[in-house]
Amino acid sequence: MMRSSDTVHLRIARILRLSAYTALILILCSIILKLLDISIAAYVAATGIGLIIASPLLGVIAAAIIALQIKNIKFLFAAISILLIFIVTFLAGL
């Protein structure tokens, strides 16, 4: 268990917060752009939604990097496996 290393939780929380609030700002901007009838509104909204979807993935990537730093092989294996499953599920769905 990684309970002793609280910073792992905090670092992942920081990454999630950064991506979550960036996505929120992008979505709010897209609504304003849509109201102003500016054509890039759809792209901005799609980027925001894409960022929301990518948030858990960013969390897993961060966890993998941290696991590599602290040399927790089990945790690293789980993170890499989840990333692989993510990629396989995505490619299979395509």
Partner 1 sequence: VGTSLVCIVAVSSVAAIDFLRSDRVDLDLGMTLALAASIGAVAGSILITYIPSKILYLSFSIVLFVAAVNMTRPRRIMLIDKQYGAPSNIGLGYGVSFLSGGISGILGVGGGIIRVPLMRVIMRMPMKIATATSSYMIGILAAPAALLYLLRGDIDIFKAAPIIIGVYGGSSLGAAFSHRITSLLLRILFVAILIFTAYRMLLRGL
Q: Which residue has the tokens 């670092």?
A: 11
32 touching partner 1, by CB under 8 A: no
Considering only 3, 39, 71, 73, the residue that binds partner 1 (CB under 8 A) is 3
C-alpha distances (whole Å) from 7 to each of 10, 15, 25, 49, 61 are 5, 12, 27, 28, 16
Other beta carbons less than 10 A from residue 91's beta carbon: 8
Q: Which residues bind partner 1 (CB under 8 A)?
A: 1-3, 6, 8-10, 12-13, 16-17, 19-20, 23-24, 27-28, 30-31, 34, 41-42, 45-46, 48-50, 52-57, 59-60, 63, 72, 74-75, 78-79, 81-82, 85-86, 89-90, 93-94
